[in-house]
Amino acid sequence: MSEEFVFTVAAQDGAARSGEIRMPRGVIRTPAFMPVGTAATVKAMYPDQVKALGADVVLGNVYHLMLRPGAERIARLGGLHAFMNWPYPILTDSGGFQVMSLAGLRKLDEDGVTFQSHVDGSMHRLTPERAIEIQGLLGSDIQMQLDECVKLPNTDEAVEKAMRLSLRWAERCRVAFGEQPGKAMFGIVQGGAVERLRVESARALVDLDLKGYAIGGLAVGEPQDVMLAMIEAVEPHLPATKPRYLMGVGTPDDIVEAVRRGVDMFDCVMPTRAGRHGMAFTRHGRLNLKNAKHAEDTRPLDKGSKCEAANAYSRAYLHHLVRSNEILAMMLLTWNNLAYYQELMAGLRKAIREKRLEDFVAETKEGWEKGATDEGAEPVAEGGVDA
């Protein structure tokens, strides 16, 4: 623990790094996967289970929490950590992405965005200052700037306009955040799939000397090689001494490839959402438990896993639970999936420290291929909101 927000890189292997972020509420071991706790809960998980799997930090969503139960209410109740029984670090997304993807009517202007709640139709407003104020009310440890996210594909002009607005908002968020020892405000690199815009965005944000830098607006449907090209374009322009966070990513393969390219932090709804839809991630690839072929398979998901959800229940039973829409199906598959994601991150951290990342990546991919007997549809990530 530390009174300040301190990031240290302990080891490098190629562009990949492993280190830790120390702050008053705990230590985040990087590369880190942050389970998504949209509405103040990592869906279908008790908080102590999440921690026990090795998650050092969870993500909360300004958009959802400001609508229900409200930021001021959470503040009166002692903040988000107390509210959701998670005393460890929390990162909050600022709401920019969700306003675009979830809200009803919305109107953007230079000063902010006015939008309609998808919960009850009421009207709300977010400005850079209000986004930071809300994150302060929540007590968030790592706060994100408000940004404008455009849908891809889009014209370069529209992408550039949103990127520049996001930069101006980053400056205003920085001022609003001020100095908060032990906490951090991250900027978000935008610029769609346009390399020169991404580079310009990164450089301008670095000039603001923020505590960390996110890469936003990716994993929204573009091919993986486009996403990786953007990371490669941006990475040389980000300071080696600051954490890099790839927002809303991704599949285990996306994460492995981004870690190889120097990314330190990830969040994604995939393990939790997939778990609620009958999908299991394992060392041996993905399984779609809805599939009839599992109906009499007495094998567990992965008898070598330390997670009870993976080693103590048969695939036949999980198949039955999924087919019967039982809550326990969602509980067990979410648990299994988060366990696998955290196991993967621990493996990546160890491999980087042992300078054997490329071997680890090869072995990991071989494992997925070898056991990948299942071609179930892959759920799509939706910008850090697990709904």
- Give the Cβ contact number of residue 216 at 10 Å: 30
Interaction between residue 372 and a copy of itself (CB under 8 A): no
Binding-site string for a copy of itself from residue 62 to residue 81, where x marks contact by CB under 8 A and - marks none? ------xx---x--xxx---
Identify the three-state secondary structure at position 161. helix
Residue among 312, 362, 372, 380 that touches a copy of itself (CB under 8 A): 312
User: Which of residues 58, 84, 185, 234 is near a copy of itself by CB under 8 A?
Assistant: 84
Instruction: State the Cα angle at 132 between 155 and 74, rounded to 5°.
Output: 125
Least Cα distance to 212 among 58, 91, 346, 336 occurs for 91
Whether the link from the prior residue into 250 is cis, omega within 30° of 0, is yes
Residue 264 catalytic? no
Closest residue by Cα to residue 26 from 8, 40, 5, 11: 5
Q: Nearest-CA neighbor of 60 among 117, 144, 147?
A: 144
187 assigned binding-site residue:
no
* From 330, 333, 351, 381, residue interacting with a copy of itself (rule: CB under 8 A): 330
Footprint of a copy of itself on 212-251 (CB under 8 A): none
Return the number of other C-beta atoms located less than 10 Å from residue 48's C-beta.
10
Q: Does residue 93 have an active-site annotation?
A: yes
Binding-site string for a copy of itself from residue 250 to residue 279, where x marks contact by CB under 8 A and - marks none: --------------------------x---
Beta bridge partners of 16: 13
| The one segment of 163-171, 182-190, 293-301, 337-345 that binds a copy of itself by CB under 8 A | 293-301
Short-list 220, 215, 224, CA closest to 257: 224
Q: Which stretch binds a copy of itself (CB under 8 A): 216-224, 229-237, 306-314, 346-354?
A: 306-314
Q: Which of 43, 260, 283, 349 binds a copy of itself (CB under 8 A)?
A: 43
The answer to the question of whether 95 is labelled as a binding residue is: yes
Q: Which residue has the tokens 């990475």?
A: 235
- List of residues contacting a copy of itself (CB under 8 A): 39-41, 43-46, 68-69, 73, 76-78, 82-85, 276, 295-296, 298, 312-314, 316-317, 319-321, 323-324, 326-328, 330-331
